């Protein structure tokens, strides 16, 4: 069975500080990987997707970056946090076909003060 793990569970950070969020998927080889951002009670905004190691496509610019250093790992980061970065960050995976559903991780709750 596939499992998706995100870390940390929650973060409280200061404006201007750096951030690194992680995601690992076990039990599935070469999945598509995605990062989403969700404002409290709001819609999901896709940020990045990756179909292979070392390759990441940006969907929307939010002063964030993403990397895929290993087949099962996806990292979201920024050098300088903004207040607008607060929210719920979700990692997801899917099979390598756009017709398959995306499976979401438990998420990381980020509060920027």
Partner 1 sequence: QQNVQQSPESLIVPEGARTSLNCTFSDSASQYFWWYRQHSGKAPKALMSIFSNGEKEEGRFTIHLNKASLHFSLHIRDSQPSDSALYLCANNNAGAKLTFGGGTRLTVRP
Binding residues for partner 1, rule: CB under 8 A, are 32, 34, 41-46, 49, 51, 57, 59, 90, 98-99, 101-107
Minimum distance, C-beta of residue 70 to partner 1, in the bound complex (Å)? 20
Nearest to partner 1 of 65, 103 (CB atom):
103
Residues near 3 by beta carbon (within 8 Å), at least 6 away in sequence: 25, 26, 27
Among residues 76, 88, 77, the alpha carbon closest in space to that of 39 is found at 88
Coil/strand/helix, residue 103: strand
Shortest spacing between CB 107 and partner 1, in angstroms: 6
């Amino acid at each position: 069975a596939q499992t998706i793990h995100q870390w940390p569970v929650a973060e409280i950070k200061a404006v201007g500080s750096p951030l690194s969020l992680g995601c690992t998927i076990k039990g599935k080889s070469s999945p598509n990987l995605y990062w989403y951002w969700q404002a409290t009670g709001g819609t999901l905004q896709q940020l990045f997707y990756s179909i292979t190691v070392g390759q990441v496509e940006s969907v929307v610019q939010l002063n964030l970056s993403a990397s895929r250093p290993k087949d099962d790992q996806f990292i979201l980061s920024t050098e300088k946090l903004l207040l607008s970065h607060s929210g719920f960050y979700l990692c997801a995976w899917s099979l390598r076909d756009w017709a398959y559903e995306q499976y979401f991780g438990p998420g990381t709750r980020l509060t920027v003060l």
